[in-house]
């Protein structure tokens, strides 16, 4: 009995000593470690590392930039079966323990004592949150003890659901996916709420070892773990037997999915990325910026298609350069494959390794028939190219010559040819090739400079060179409207008679004798200034510039916003011998399209971080009805500016007017109105007549072609949409003898503007006061005689209207403007 009592006392004292020792050690560890522990208060304001996302103005995802793919979601938006799957896999007592699972820790302690390392963590979800947010992943005791202490603190500060939300958004799940929403997108290309029970269980199995249990890299191991989790869910009563049986039978459907890009605008995305990095540095990729651009997704898609189709039309006009290679033969034409099975294997391997080029897909010719060919495509897809989509392929000789039209398919292709094809709207495939020419398209709202669509080339991934913003190209005849604008501003009129006749200049600045000519080598004699522009007559432009003066013209155009360093100070300026980017030229045209106001292009409308708008664009806006109480600051504030609070006022309407950043008026609105009217004649009477297909009377524009057809342009607009198109070679070689702005660039413009102006009513700028419409004699530009059947109406500024009635002879300039008499003939 005494021995039993003594033993009991010993055990009690031993237990008390052990507990006391444990408490003492724990207290000592706590006192030692707690000062170095981070504050868990910060978890409430945790900002997860989230990539930069770029959107269109209608919130279509354009691009995503950043090392980590993460899309945070709220716990209330998380599917319950997914939550149950994670509980089954990681911590089924999560909602019952205080942040630490004693039994799990005891197992970890035994492992530590026996092996010297912790093999299975015994970590609760709360402890994993502590580790992921505050601690390293080193498997040592001090880290584990810190993890326990932090978990206990976290449980005091946050609710269980808040802890679970942090966990679901923070955990790494393989393939750059952080958080469950990103994992759903990476592995299944869907949102987390669109997945099946089997897929939720698959994702819940990833935290233990994202590489080992990855369904893409290790599908067998992933399947075993998924089914184990489903079994745990069944045992815990989370799912029914029927649900379990259906889920374990489900096949693995995971495959890698990139960001869910909703529209193709890679040049836009890169422009935004560069501007954001310039502003925010490396944080651009981690702070979760959402950038909303001015780009319209429908218009951008139309722009992509218009540019691609225009370049395909160009390349087809010049003939087929042949297949990429022939896989069945060597360079001498000798067969390299003896067995059909070997050929098929080589074809499939080559197709798998060959990336698409924009809308072009690789294909291998498997058989040639009379007027069609059979092709093999990726995914073992077999298809046919019929004669309608093959017969264009006459052989290319050079940009000015091509061979005879083919009569049968064998004239073009043979088995084993690796070719490019593109899918047509009717689903058929067409023989194609990568265009040698390049193009840019810029569409802008001329009222405020907002970029509606932009294409910088045929294939961004082949060449990230943005021709819309980086290519320095000659403007050619597309620049002429600015020369005429300066002339009208100086007092010439649309009816001023100028001689379309040869002229020779001897000028040291022009390196000797200069004999400019018209494109068609013909001369039409005296004609009105209006005709000179819509017919794009070079000699008329030169005489106008000589009369107004080069320096005076350059100074005027610089005030409009054109880059002064690009404007040549000699008479070649009249022919568009100026080099600038398409965006710079388009910006200049905005001043014409909007009635004479200076606006600057901008792309970023606003930037959000989390749910707050932190930056917003403040572009200069055309406001014809605004009454300015003070002059506008020079230039347009079109960049992102920090958002400031609205001014306090009792009058809402006055606050609205005060907040408008008015665009500066830089020319007489009457001069602008007249040049707009002349440029509409370019469409209906001149070089832009193809645009009549739009059946609109509110559009104006100008074609442009440079020497040797190195550049082809069309810039056109109405008051709502301004669009420029450029086509040319990156190496500045010729497009070909028969390529002009009217057939290389204008069809692209028309295709795009059909979409841009669809269902939009016709709209013209309001006629300003001080404009008079007068009947004139078209031969002399003077007032028409009463009853003259050939008389036409012309627009004039009130002070420049003709003063005398036509007598049939051509007047000097003193009768039609404010100039001194001067012979322009």
Mind giving me the DSSP string for 682-730?
HHHTSTTGGGGGG--SS-EEEEEE-GGG-EEEEEEE-SS-EEEEEEE-T
> How many Cβ atoms are within 10 Å of 67's Cβ, its own excluded?
10
Structure tokens, 545: 């510039």
CB 624 within 8 A of CB 654: no
pLDDT over threshold 50, residue 821: no
Architecture label for domain 338-432: Beta Barrel (2.40)
Distance CA 678, CA 494 (A): 8
Distance CA 234, CA 232 (A): 5
The residues, ordered by sequence, that sit 6+ positions from 400 with a Cβ below 8 Å of its Cβ are 736, 737, 738
pLDDT for res 514: 77
Distance CA 304, CA 748 (A): 10
pLDDT over threshold 80, residue 520: no
pLDDT for res 645: 35
Distance CA 655, CA 788 (A): 56
Structure tokens, 771: 């404009």
Selected residue with higher pLDDT from 654 and 674: 674
Chain mean pLDDT for the chain = 86
State how far the alpha carbon of 203 is from the alpha carbons of 88, 253, 307, in Å. Answer: 12, 12, 42
For CA atoms 686, 691, 694, 699, the dihedral sign is negative
Distance CA 457, CA 521 (A): 33
pLDDT over threshold 80, residue 41: no
pLDDT for res 461: 92
Q: What is the mean pLDDT of residues 370-383?
A: 96
Structure tokens, 155: 């449980």
Q: How many residues are there in the chain?
A: 825
pLDDT for res 509: 57
pLDDT band per the 50, 70, 90 thresholds, residue 233: very high
If you compute the radius of gyration of the chain from its CA atoms, what whole number of angstroms results?
37
Lowest mean pLDDT among 16-30, 585-599, 727-741: 16-30
Distance CA 296, CA 58 (A): 7
pTM of the model: 0.85
Q: What is the mean pLDDT of residues 584-595?
A: 98
Lowest mean pLDDT among 54-58, 145-149, 542-546, 766-770: 145-149
Structure tokens, 146: 């810190």
Q: What is the DSSP letter of 404?
A: P
Lowest mean pLDDT among 109-123, 617-631, 720-734: 109-123
pLDDT band per the 50, 70, 90 thresholds, residue 80: very high
**Tally of helices (H runs) and strands (E runs) in the chain:** 21, 29
**What are the two backbone dihedrals, phi and then psi, of residue 282, each rounded to the nearest 5 degrees?**
-60, -25
Distance CA 457, CA 442 (A): 11
pLDDT band per the 50, 70, 90 thresholds, residue 628: very low
Structure tokens, 224: 């075993």
CB 435 within 8 A of CB 443: no
pLDDT band per the 50, 70, 90 thresholds, residue 106: low
Lowest mean pLDDT among 103-117, 235-249, 504-518, 770-784: 103-117
Specify the fold of 442-599+668-756: Beta-lactamase (3.40.710)
pLDDT band per the 50, 70, 90 thresholds, residue 48: confident
Q: What is the DSSP letter of 454?
A: E
pLDDT over threshold 90, residue 654: no
Q: Taking CA 602 as the corner, what is the angle to CA 599 and CA 608, rounded to the nearest 5 degrees? A: 135
Share of the chain above pLDDT 90, in %: 68
pLDDT for res 602: 98
pLDDT over threshold 60, residue 525: yes
pLDDT for res 818: 36
Beta bridge partners of 796: 772
pLDDT band per the 50, 70, 90 thresholds, residue 508: low
Q: How far is CA 706 from the centre of its chain?
A: 29
pLDDT for res 5: 62
For CA atoms 470, 473, 477, 482, the dihedral sign is positive
pLDDT over threshold 70, residue 185: yes
- Best-predicted range by mean pLDDT among 8-17, 107-116, 136-145, 409-418? 409-418
* Residue labelled with tokens 């057939």: 743
pLDDT for res 153: 82
pLDDT for res 530: 97
pLDDT over threshold 60, residue 632: no
Distance CA 364, CA 345 (A): 12
State how far the alpha carbon of 669 is from the alpha carbons of 131, 276, 279, 306, 492, in Å. Answer: 67, 37, 37, 33, 15
pLDDT for res 650: 38
Please report which residue ranges of 281-366 form alpha helices under DSSP H: 297-317, 340-353
Distance CA 224, CA 247 (A): 12
Q: Taking CA 481 as the corner, what is the angle to CA 478 and CA 484, rounded to the nearest 5 degrees? A: 145
Active centre residues (catalytic): 90, 477
Nearest to 526 by CA among 499, 558, 505: 499
pLDDT over threshold 50, residue 8: yes
pLDDT band per the 50, 70, 90 thresholds, residue 10: low
Helices 197-204, 241-248: axis angle to 10 degrees equals 70
Q: From start to end of 475-519, where are the E strands?
A: 497-500, 505-507, 512-514
pLDDT for res 630: 42
Share of the chain above pLDDT 70, in %: 83
Lowest mean pLDDT among 122-131, 136-145, 213-222: 136-145
- Best-predicted range by mean pLDDT among 345-349, 535-539, 593-597? 593-597
Please, how many CA atoms are within 13 Å of residue 638, restricted to the half-sphere of its CB? 24
Distance CA 110, CA 410 (A): 78
Distance CA 131, CA 657 (A): 54
Q: What is the mean pLDDT of residues 405-427?
A: 96
CB 781 within 8 A of CB 531: no
pLDDT band per the 50, 70, 90 thresholds, residue 648: very low
Long-range pairs for 683-689: beta carbons < 8 A, 24 or more residues apart: 683/716, 685/534, 685/535, 686/533, 686/534, 686/535, 686/536, 687/477, 687/534, 687/535, 687/536, 687/740, 687/741, 687/742, 688/714, 688/716, 688/742, 688/746, 689/742
Architecture label for domain 70-248: Orthogonal Bundle (1.10)
Q: From start to end of 299-426, where are the E strands?
A: 325-326, 361-368, 372-377, 381-386, 396-398, 401-402, 417-423
Q: What letters, b where the CB count within 10 A reaches 16 and e where it falls short, cover 605-639?
A: bbbbeeeeeebbbbbbbbbbeeeeeeebeeebebe
Beta bridge partners of 604: 293
Coil, strand or helix at 234: helix
End-to-end C-alpha distance for the chain, whole angstroms: 139
């Amino acid at each position: 009995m005494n021995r039993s009592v003594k033993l009991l006392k010993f055990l009690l004292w031993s237990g008390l000593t052990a507990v006391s020792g444990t408490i003492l050690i724990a207290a000592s560890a706590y006192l030692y470690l707690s000062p170095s522990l981070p504050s868990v208060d910060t978890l409430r304001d945790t900002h997860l590392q989230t990539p930069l996302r770029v959107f269109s103005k209608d919130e279509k995802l354009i691009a995503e930039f950043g090392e980590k793919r993460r899309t945070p979601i709220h716990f209330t938006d998380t599917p319950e079966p997914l939550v149950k799957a994670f509980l089954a896999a990681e911590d089924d007592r999560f909602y019952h323990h205080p942040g630490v699972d004693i039994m799990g820790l005891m197992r970890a302690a035994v492992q530590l004592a026996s092996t010297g390392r912790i093999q299975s963590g015994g970590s609760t979800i709360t402890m994993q949150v502590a580790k992921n947010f505050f601690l390293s992943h080193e498997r040592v005791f001090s880290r584990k003890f810190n993890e326990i202490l932090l978990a206990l603190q976290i449980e005091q500060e946050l609710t269980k659901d808040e802890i679970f939300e942090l966990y679901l958004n923070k955990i790494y799940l393989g393939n750059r996916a952080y958080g469950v929403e990103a994992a759903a997108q990476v592995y299944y290309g869907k949102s987390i709420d669109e997945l099946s029970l089997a897929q939720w269980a698959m994702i819940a199995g990833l935290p233990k070892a994202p590489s080992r249990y990855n369904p893409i890299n290790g599908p067998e191991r992933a399947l075993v773990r998924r089914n184990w989790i489903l079994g745990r869910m069944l045992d815990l009563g989370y799912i029914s037997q029927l649900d379990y049986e259906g889920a374990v039978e489900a096949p693995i459907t995971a495959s890698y999915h990139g960001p869910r890009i909703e529209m193709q605008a890679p040049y836009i995305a890169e422009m935004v990325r560069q501007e954001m990095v310039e502003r925010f540095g490396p944080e651009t990729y981690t702070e979760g910026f959402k950038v909303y651009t001015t780009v319209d997704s429908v218009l951008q898609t139309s722009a992509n298609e218009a540019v691609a189709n225009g370049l395909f039309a160009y390349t087809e006009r010049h003939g087929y350069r042949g297949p990429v290679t022939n896989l069945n033969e060597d360079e001498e034409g000798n067969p390299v494959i003896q067995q059909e099975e070997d050929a098929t294997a080589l074809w499939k391997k080559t197709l798998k390794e060959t990336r698409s080029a924009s809308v072009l897909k690789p294909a291998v010719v498997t058989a040639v028939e009379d007027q069609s060919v059979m092709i093999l495509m990726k995914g073992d897809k077999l298809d046919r190219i019929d004669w309608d989509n093959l017969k264009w392929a006459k052989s290319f000789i050079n940009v000015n010559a091509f061979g005879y039209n083919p009569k049968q398919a064998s004239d073009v292709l043979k088995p084993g040819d690796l070719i490019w094809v593109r899918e047509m709207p009717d689903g058929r495939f067409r023989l194609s090739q990568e265009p040698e020419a390049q193009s840019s398209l810029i569409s802008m709202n001329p009222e405020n400079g907002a970029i509606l669509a932009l294409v910088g080339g045929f294939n961004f991934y082949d060449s990230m060179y943005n021709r819309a913003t980086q290519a320095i190209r000659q403007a050619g005849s597309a620049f002429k409207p600015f020369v005429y604008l300066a002339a009208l501003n100086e007092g010439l009129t649309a009816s001023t008679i100028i001689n379309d006749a040869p002229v020779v200049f001897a000028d040291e600045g022009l390196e000797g004798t200069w004999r400019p000519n018209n494109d068609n080598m013909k001369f039409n004699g005296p004609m009105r200034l209006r005709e000179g522009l819509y017919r794009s007559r070079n000699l008329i432009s030169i005489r106008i510039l000589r009369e107004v003066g080069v320096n005076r013209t350059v100074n005027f155009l610089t005030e409009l916003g054109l880059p002064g360093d690009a404007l040549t100070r000699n008479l070649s300026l009249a022919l568009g011998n100026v080099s600038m980017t398409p965006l710079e030229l388009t910006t200049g045209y905005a001043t014409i399209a909007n009635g004479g106001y200076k606006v600057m292009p901008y792309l970023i409308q606003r930037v959000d971080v989390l749910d707050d708008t932190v930056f917003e664009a403040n572009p200069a806006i055309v406001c014809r009805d605004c009454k300015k109480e003070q002059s506008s600051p020079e230039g347009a504030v079109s960049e992102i500016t920090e958002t400031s609070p609205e001014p306090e006022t009792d009058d809402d309407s006055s606050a609205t007017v005060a907040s408008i950043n008015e665009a500066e008026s830089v020319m007489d609105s009457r001069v602008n109105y007249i040049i707009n009217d002349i440029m509409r004649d370019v469409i209906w009477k001149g070089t832009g007549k193809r645009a009549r297909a739009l059946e609109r009377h509110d559009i104006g524009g100008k074609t442009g072609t440079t020497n040797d057809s190195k550049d082809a342009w069309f810039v056109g607009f109405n008051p709502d949409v301004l669009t420029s198109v450029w086509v040319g070679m990156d190496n500045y070689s010729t497009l070909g003898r028969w390529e002009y702005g009217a057939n290389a660039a204008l069809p692209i413009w028309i295709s795009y503007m059909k979409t841009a102006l669809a269902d939009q009513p016709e709209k013209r700028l309001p006629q300003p006061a001080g404009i008079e419409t007068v009947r004139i004699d078209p031969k002399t530009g003077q007032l028409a005689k009463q009853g003259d059947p050939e008389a036409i109406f012309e627009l004039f500024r009130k002070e420049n209207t003709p003063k005398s009635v036509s007598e049939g002879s051509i007047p000097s300039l003193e009768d039609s403007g404010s100039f001194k008499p001067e012979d322009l003939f």
